[in-house]
Amino acid sequence: VTSGDNNLCFSRINELQGSVGTITRPTLILDAGRTKLNIACMIRRAADAGVRFRPHFKTHQSAAVGEWFRHAGVSCITVSSLEMARYFADTGWDDITVAFPVNLRQMDLINQLAGQIRLGLLVDHPEALTFLAKHLEHQATIWIKVDAGYGRTGVDWQDQRLASGLARQIAASDRMQFGGLLSHSGHSYSADRLDQLQQIHDESITRLRRLGDQIAAKDLGTCPISIGDTPTCSRVDRLGDADEIRPGNFVFYDLMQLAHGICRREEISLALACPIVCKYPSRNEIVICGGAIHLSKESLTATDGRRCFGQLAQWNPEGFTVSETAPPLTSLSQEHGVVSLPAEQQAQLQIGDLVLVIPVHSCLTAQQFGSYTTLQGKQLERFRP
């Protein structure tokens, strides 16, 4: 299939090498080279800014992808659950922060991990610290989670009294080492311009530093600042105002990051291969095996007001890419994906051909699968709880 039309794509994936060509059902396709470039680029940004790089592994959740980070010199990581910490500890990572408010029902697992690795935990409430002080059997690093403006979790950045109380609780326990203040500026995902993003970053840092100065002077020695979101870490100036960064999504990026100007098209490194199961030229739609259980129901609103649940990628010898006018997935049900595709382009496709879909949110799409297939046809295992 070749054409001068930029929208054309698709079925040459049928002819790919290795096991890619023998795919029978929705399958995650990973461009390993591009992923390694994304990793190298973020390592360089962190090094240039002089901040510690503690990448979030919840996006890829793969021991094999983790090795690419390790070979690039990364030695500490972030995860989003204690089970995920267990998985990566078993593959040799020994400095792991669980960047999710600590789940006290998993105290046994906390103690197992704390006895084995340098384990970081997040708290924002005295109840959690009281429980940990009583039940921790080994040293753990405790971060105070701070809400610097996002409004989801954490001590309000203005609540010096609560933060100081938490700091005193930490200082009073010989099992707890203070990590610092940790924040996730998730509202950066809705910034539409770089200056808005920069403003969110600067404001967050100012708020965190102010709170840090207040509690450190009274209760603790120094107060490192850890921040996390991919938009900020990918694009802002003055990243070095933080002490540590924890981005995750940058490893693959996706349509959401592209839509907000955070990544370039050629940086998106994850796609979903889906078989075509129906063609409807009269209504300019095809249906693929690829639905909510594969892509998640995360969506963007397109310029024409329609919801977009993914877009078809073009295939070229260097890999896949998504053009500005790439055919969108306009609706998803449990297993079906409806793609808006003009009849003349359908004529070149057969039922049973594969198409590649770029996901809206790569974290949620990858979550649905137990492995990745690289463009070279290699299988990479992925953690499944």
- Comparing CB distances to its own copies, the nearer of 342 and 370 is 370
DSSP code string of 219-243 = H-S---EEE--HHHHHH-S-GGGSS
Stretch that binds its own copies, among 164-172, 235-243, 259-267, 350-358 (CB under 8 A): 350-358
Instruction: Retrieve residue 33's tokens.
Output: 């080279």
Residues 243 to 272 in contact with its own copies, rule: CB under 8 A: none
> Count residues contacting its own copies (CB under 8 A)?
54
Quote the distance between the C-alpha of residue 234 and its chain's center.
12
DSSP strands (E only) in 155-269:
155-156, 176-182, 225-227, 244-245
Contact letters (x/-) for its own copies, 123-142, by CB under 8 A?
A: -xx-xx--x-----------
Residue from 8, 16, 39, 102 in contact with its own copies (CB under 8 A): 102
- Comparing CB distances to its own copies, the nearer of 264 and 306 is 306
* Residue 379 touching its own copies (CB under 8 A): no
- Comparing CB distances to its own copies, the nearer of 32 and 154 is 154
Instruction: Give the position of tokens 């979101």.
Output: 229
- Comparing CB distances to its own copies, the nearer of 20 and 216 is 20
Instruction: Retrieve residue 183's tokens.
Output: 């924040």
> Which long-range CB contacts under 8 A does 44-49 form with residues at least 24 apart?
45/233, 45/234, 45/239, 46/233, 46/239, 46/245, 49/238, 49/239, 49/240, 49/245
Name the minimum Å distance from CB 370 to its own copies.
8
Give the CA radius of gyration of the chain: 22
Residue from 7, 11, 91, 106 in contact with its own copies (CB under 8 A): 106
Residue from 258, 338, 358, 375 in contact with its own copies (CB under 8 A): 338
Pairing state between β 379-381 and 319-321: unpaired
Instruction: Retrieve residue 230's tokens.
Output: 């991919």
Name the minimum Å distance from CB 324 to its own copies.
25
Specify the DSSP element, H or E, that contains 308: strand 307-308
**374 CB neighbour count, 10 Å cutoff:** 19
The SS3 call for residue 52 is: strand
Residue from 50, 73, 342, 352 in contact with its own copies (CB under 8 A): 352
Contact letters (x/-) for its own copies, 79-98, by CB under 8 A?
A: -xx-x---------------
Residues that bind its own copies (CB under 8 A): 23-25, 58, 80-81, 83, 100-106, 109, 124-125, 127-128, 131, 151-153, 156, 186, 275, 277-279, 282-283, 287, 289, 292-293, 296-298, 331, 333-336, 338, 350-352, 354, 363-364, 367, 370, 384-385
